[in-house]
Structure 1
């Protein structure tokens, strides 16, 4: 139980950093600004990815009316949810990297890029099948 409670406390502390990034200055030493700015550029790239996924979700919902409602809504909701998850993961990764740089630790590793890439590939494959099936019904 201590392991779970400790993980929950650590997760809550990480989320608090999202809203109070100035608290990061209390830890360690200020890293070279180039590294902080690179971390910020990575964060912004993740946000662009999230926005693209959200835009894709709306595009599926609005511009593929020939597909049956069920698959169209499922794909749209999936893209919207993955976009939201990507945005949340972006801010979490930014805070964790900033903290690691200030502490002089290794940067955190994550499986999220691989999971995101596989999810997008799977959604793209399903969309190819759905669009091809929708065109075949015409």
Structure 2
């Protein structure tokens, strides 16, 4: 039986939008350890400001689906992609699938990771999203 390969590293820029401080800190720490440049935001309006202030390129947006403040993950993605249309989108949530449908996200989508997740699962999913063919991406 072959040994599992270590999760691949990267250098891309990731914008993380997560309202739970502990989850945001965990994801940031893991992704930085794997070489990614991580920008943090606590909600939709903060994500929009961060994206505009960052400037040149955001390769991947990781957004919680259900957040306070009137902007769910789908709306955050739409807002960020106005200034960064190249950004891939990965949704994360701990809610069950039926609770996510009103927010425009289905857990069976390729661009979804269910909480809680391990460091390895996160790193692999991020790399998968960044390496996927553009036509296979669900926005």
TM bin, normalised by shorter chain, reads under 0.3
Q: Which has the larger radius of gyration?
A: 1
Q: TM-score, normalised by structure 1?
A: 0.26
Choose between structure 1 and 2: higher strand proportion.
2
More helix by share: 1
